[in-house]
Each structure stands twice: as C-alpha cells, then as structure tokens.
Structure 1
Amino acid sequence: MLTTRHFAISLLAACAALASLPAHAQTAFPNKPVTLIVPNPPGGLVDGSARIVSDALAKVLGQSVVVNNQPGGSGNVAYGNVAKAAPDGYTLLTSYSAYHVGYPHMNPKLPWAQKDFVPVALVTVATNVIAVHPSIAANTLPEFIAYVKKNPGKLSYASQGNGSLSHMGTEMFKQRNGISMVHIPYRGSGAAITDVLSGQVQVFITTPPSVMQHIQAGKLKGLAVAGPTRHSGIPNVPTTAEAGLKGFELEAWVGIFAPAGTPPDVVAKLGSAIKLAMDAPETKTRAQTAGIEIRYKDSAALDAQVKTETEFWGKVITSSKITMD
C-alpha cells in the first residue's frame, strides 16, 4: 500500500520525470487553469470521478483544475464542445464509457466522433448493482427474474438516459434472461434515483455511487453486483455469479480525453500527472468512500479498450434496437 511518505518520494520522482520533457512543453504547459468538461449533471460516477481527479491533479500540476458540468443533449453538448476546443491540453473531456463507445452506433449525426479525441488516461471504474424497490416480492436475483417473468411488461426500469450504460446494460440483462420491462430514461442518476426510491420506477441497474447508501439504509434491495467480486461498500450483496447468473458482468469506466491534435508531449505530461494523482493515498480513500474504484490505464491501453468495447456494445445496441430518441 502506498504510504504518504512513499507518495512524497514518488511525487519528487515524477516531478523530475516531468521536468525532462521538451523545454517548450515545460514553459507552455500548464501555465493556467485546466478545465475538465463533464457530460453529466452533478452526482453519480462521472461527476464524482471528475471531482476526485480535479482535486488530486491540481496538487500535482500546481494549477487549478476546474470541473464544468455540461449535461445538455444527453452529453453531446460536452463532447461537441471539447471536440471543437483548442488542442492545447487546457480543455479536457471526462468521458463516460457508454457515451464514448455506444453513441456512435446510435446516431450517425453526432456532433462529434471518436477520432475527435485523443485518450489521455483511464481513471476510474465502477461495477453495476442490480437494485430494486422494497415493494418487489423478491429478495434474490433468481426470485426477481422469476417475478418479472410472471409479470411481463408490468415493471419499469430507470436509466440515466437513452444510450447510458444503465440503459444498454439492462437491455442486455433482459435479453439474457428473456424478460420484459419498460424503460424510463432520466437526465442523470439524481433524477432517476428519486423515482426509484418512491417506487414510481421499480428497478435500477447502476453504479454504486447512485444506490449504495440507499441499499445500506434498507431503502432499496441490492440483489447482485454485476462484477467479479463483491463491492466493499455493500459486502452483503452477492455477485451475479454467486447469485446464479454466471457470465453477466457490467462495468462502467471514466476516462480523460483531449481534443485531437493535442501535442503528444502535453498528453504524456497529463497522463503522468494523472497517474501520480490517482496513486495518492488520499485520492484512493476518497474514491473508496464514494464507491468508485481507481484503475489507471495509460493512453495506449485506454485506446485499445475503446476499440474493443465499441465493437462489443455495437452488437448489443443493434440487437436491442437501442436509439438515443
């Protein structure tokens, strides 16, 4: 485990490494605040990750890192604005996996394309939790699946919006189990969780930051964690495999991207600084408290992951006929 002393040593080493970059990069970047554009409203995985990154990265860069939420157009406003931003490293996109790999399959007229961005670093991930309102007469995942089969089309499920991972993932869950539920899209997790807690909508497959505290308080039932291991914040909730649904895993990620054309040395400097920021003990503690897992990957690894997931989710989107409308 990285201690504060070890982190300080790492910080000095990283600063030395950053100083070895070309002279023009040292003097030109960063000499003013950096902005992280977020395609989601406040609350939830993407916004929470951006705020964790901004605070930690500011300490490493020695410059303010500002979070700017731009949730309009199902996130497309943010993506379009970053795509058109100056490629100088001062305007960055905090990208949500479902938008980045899913939207290109749903709308050929997007105001952006994947080629408009260069990956900087993967920063966080979060598995998904299958949560239901307490009024549902099911306490286990098999009981829930059986209940939905007996009541086809009578239950509704929430998502953070058309094309979000909660939308795509729940459609994949429906396909896998041969069940029918009505999709109710919302603008972000905050609005969705309000109706799920009231029972107006009964099902929400989403990341832990949105539902963890409500499961802990008994306001929602956590039926399963769609990942390889249980979540530390809700340790009594089994994995999907433990609950009898092997092979169903659903993980969201958040990555930092720069506009295409950003100088490679600036991208490299940002990537190195982000790695150091994510390695800080206080960053890890803050993320764990929020139910978010830090998982750093460099630019090349993130690029490869984008390509793999774009192909995978394209098949799900096509078979489920998912659109952004």
Structure 2
Amino acid sequence: MSAPRLSDSQPLEAKDTRRPAVKRRTFLSAIGLTLALPVGNVLAQGGRPIRMIVPLPAGTSNDYAARILTTHVAQTLGQAIVVDNKPGANGVIATMDIMRAAPDGMTLMCGSLSPLASNVAFVKNLPYEPLRNLTPIGGATLTNHVLMVKADSPIRTFADFIAYAKQRPGKVSVGASTTIVQLQIASMNKLGGIQLMAIPYKGTPATISDVIGGVLDATLTDPGNALAQVKGGQLRALAVTSLKRNPATPDWPAISETLPGFDFPSWNAFVGPAGMSRALVERISAAVIQAQKRPDVTEQLARQGMVPLILRPDELKAYMDTEAKKYVRLAREANIQPE
C-alpha cells in the first residue's frame, strides 16, 4: 500500500517534542462498561489491567500518543490499561517483551517507527522480524521531524539553509540523535547537492542546547520540542521532514517543497504478540479508531504536532512492510551499515 501522508485532510486514513513528564498511571475504565468478546480472555478474571508497553521513556512523543489514546481505548473496552515504559536498544527491549507475552490481548505495545520497521535496516542481527513476531492491530499517530536553527540565525528559510550549506561544504553541523536523523541528513546531502556534517548525539535535548549555544548550526527534532522552542524564542523552525506540511504546524513548509521526493514521516502504531485471534485484533482496532476520531483527542495530539494515523490491521501490516523495505533501501544508498 502507499504510505500515508501528512496532508490537509485529517484524521489520516489508509486510503490515501518534548512532552511534559507524565507519571506512570493506570487509566480507569468507565463504570458499567463490559467487554463482550467471544474469543480469548481479554478481560482477565480478578480485573487485571491490560499492560501497554511503550518502547521510549515517559515524556516522549511515543509515550504521549500512547497515553492519550489508551485513556479512551480503556473506556471503550471496559478494561483498565496501564502504560509500562520499557526504553532501550532502539525499542528492541520492549519488542522482545511483547513477543514473550501470551496472545490474549492482555499485553500490547504502542510501538514507534524504529522497533516496528526501521530496525530492520539499522540493527545488526536483529532478534526478531516485525511482521512474523508481532500482530499488527492499528495505527496510532503520524508526525515528522523539524529542522531547527537558532532564533537569531541569518538562515530564515530552508532555501537559505541549502544556500548557506553550499557556500560552506563540510562545515555546516547538524545534530543527529538517531540513525533515522542521520539518514535524513544523508538524504538532504544527496538531494540538495550539499555536504552537511552529521554530529552524533545521545538525545535530542543535547542537540537543542548546542544549537542554542552556537555549538551546532542546526538540529532535527520532534514537533513538540520544536513548538516549545519556537514559543520560547530560542529556535526557528525551517521545514518539516514529511512529504506534505503537517496540519498541526501549517506555516512550516515541507523540505520536499525545495527538495522534491524528501519524505521521512514519524509514526506510532499498536501491535500485539504473534498468534492473536482475528476477532480479538478487530475488537481492539475498532476501539483505537473510535478514540482517534474523537475531536478532543485530535486537539490534544495537535498540540504536540501529531495527527491520528488511522490504519486497520491489514493496512498497518502493509504499511510496516513498506516502511521496512524503504529504510533498507535508503540505508543501502546512504552506505549506512547496521550496528
């Protein structure tokens, strides 16, 4: 299937950050709701809550999306859901956890792009295959990265950025906190005919601090962090990495408007362990879509630069496959080896 795009029509369907710290908590189900499933023991005897694994720390966009959506999924299912953050190893730790769980719907994961697709290209000897060891349930959210420079930088547009880099080959530094960002920089070099320096960092906050401090020329960060920095007057947003502009930040152009074909969306999706029954998957998927279509949920997500990614189980399966193959191809073209 063709990959969903950020466009002016939302929420996204298949047919076509820094977040505030959030304490781990259980989302209580609405009183009186029951789960009427003819298959599996999703509603555990004794009221055991569903465990929602999140492969990134609290306060990340992945965690934020999971908590916003599962609040309403819990109400629809009549089942409490507790978020369990399991960060580390590009999501491999969390993914191995979900793989070991029983396929009864009591353990799920709201995974990000890395464990569900791009790890196939970037992690050496990856101990799982996303489509063989996981059950796709449904999309969660779609967003992008944002290219940022210091607020008082003479670079005011992405076209200015390209011109600035052409005048200084090999001297314009961009913070890269993930392999995906490293690949984005490599793609800008290829499509723009420039030579940016990708400077490796362990996390986005450090890259933001170094742009503000003048150590770096630019960085790529999530929209939540970008919005906060622009509002605070510290950084300037030049462009977003998705093919189309993000409806949550419509004034920020897409890099593809200057470099046609540049397309690096960021996304989250719900999966379970392999072997879940079709009826169980469909039930949970329907609850997720119901949550995604709530106006209050759309508004909450937009505050962090995200839109709902509405994908049903088969659509998510096809999307994960397409994204994994894309990153394998792009990593090969950029000569980025698995580590």
| Range into which the TM-score falls when normalised by the shorter chain | 0.7 to 0.9
1:302 aligns with 2:319: no
1:253 to 267, 273, 291: 267
Q: Secondary structure at the match of 1:77?
A: helix
Aligned partners of 2:220 and 2:55: how far apart in 1?
Answer: 20
Aligned residue in 2 for 1:78: 94
Letter in 1 for 2:293: D
Residue in 1 that maps onto 2:182: 167
Alignment check: 8 A CA contact 1:41 1:188 kept = no
- Contact 2:172/2:217 (8 A) holds in 1: yes
3-state SS of the aligned residue for 2:145?
Answer: strand
Query: Structure 1's 23 and 65: CA in aligned 2 closer, same or farther, altered over 3 A?
Result: closer
Q: Give the alignment of 1:223-238 within 5 angstroms.
A: 223-238=238-253
State yes or no: 1:37 paired with 2:63. Answer: no
1:92 deviation in Å?
Answer: 1.4
- Give the match's secondary structure for 1:49: helix
Show the counterpart of 1:91: 107
Alpha-carbon distance between aligned partners in 1 of 2:269 and 2:46, rounded to the nearest angstrom: 20
Structure 2 unaligned spans of 5+: 1-32
Is 1:212 the counterpart of 2:252? The answer is: no
Q: Is the 8 A contact 1:30 1:61 kept in 2?
A: no
- Contact 1:170/1:205, CA 8 A, preserved across alignment: no
- The letter for the 2-side match of 1:267 is V
Q: How does 1:277-292 map to 2 (within 5 A)?
A: 277-292=291-306
Matched residues, percent identical? 29
Q: TM-score, normalised by structure 1?
A: 0.84
1:266 aligns with 2:283: no
Q: Work out whether 1:148 is the aligned partner of 2:165.
A: yes
**Which residue pairs with 1:65 in the alignment?**
81
| Aligned-pair Cα RMSD in Å | 2.8
Alignment-derived partner of residue 183 in structure 1: 198
AA matched with 1:257: V
Q: In 2, distance between residues paired with 1:220 and 1:230?
A: 19
Structure 2 distance, partners of 1:50, 1:170, is: 28
What residue in structure 1 maps to residue 143 of structure 2?
126
More helix by share: 1
What is the alpha-carbon distance in structure 2 between the residues aligned to residue 257 and residue 104 of structure 1?
Answer: 17
Deviation at 1:233, TM superposition (A): 4.6
C-alpha displacement of 1:191: 4.2
Q: 1:288 to 1:194 in 2, by over 3 A?
A: same
CA displacement at 1:135 relative to structure 2: 5.5
Query: CA 1:185/1:117 → structure 2, altered by over 3 Å: closer, same or farther?
Result: farther
Structure 1 residues 112 and 196, CA gap change in structure 2 (3 angstroms)? farther
Asked whether the 8 Å contact 1:135–1:199 carries over to 2, the reply is no
* CA distance, structure 2, for counterparts of residue 156 and residue 52 of structure 1: 35
| Change over 3 Å in CA distance of 1:322–1:26 after alignment to 2 | closer
In structure 2, how many angstroms separate the alpha carbons of the residues matched to 1:187 and 1:68?
Answer: 22
Partner of 2:336: 322
5+ residue gaps, structure 1, are: 1-14
Task: Provide the C-alpha distance between the structure 2 equivalents of 1:29 and 1:160, rounded to a whole number of angstroms.
Answer: 43
Cα distance in 2, alignment partners of residues 147 and 279 from structure 1: 43
Deviations 1:66-109 (A, max 9, x none): 22222212321111211222222122122212442221123341
Q: Distance in 2 between matches of 1:188 and 1:57?
A: 31
Shift of the 167–94 alpha-carbon distance from structure 1 to 2, 3 Å rule, reads farther
List, as ranges, runs of 4+ consecutive aligned residues in structure 1 with deviation greater than 6 Å: none
- TM-score, normalised to structure 2, is 0.81
Matched positions, count: 308
Q: Conserved in 2, the CA contact under 8 Å of 1:37 and 1:70?
A: yes
1:158 counterpart (175, 180, 186): 175
Report if the CA contact (8 A) 1:228-1:249 is conserved: yes
Mean CA deviation greater in 256-265 or 233-242? 233-242
Distance 2:336 2:221 in 1: 18
CA separation of 1:74/1:269 partners in 2, compared to 1, >3 Å: closer, same or farther? Answer: same
CA distance in 2, matches of 1:303, 1:232: 25
CA 1:27–1:237 in structure 2 vs 1: closer, same or farther (change >3 Å)? closer
Contact 1:40 1:75 in 2 (8 A): yes
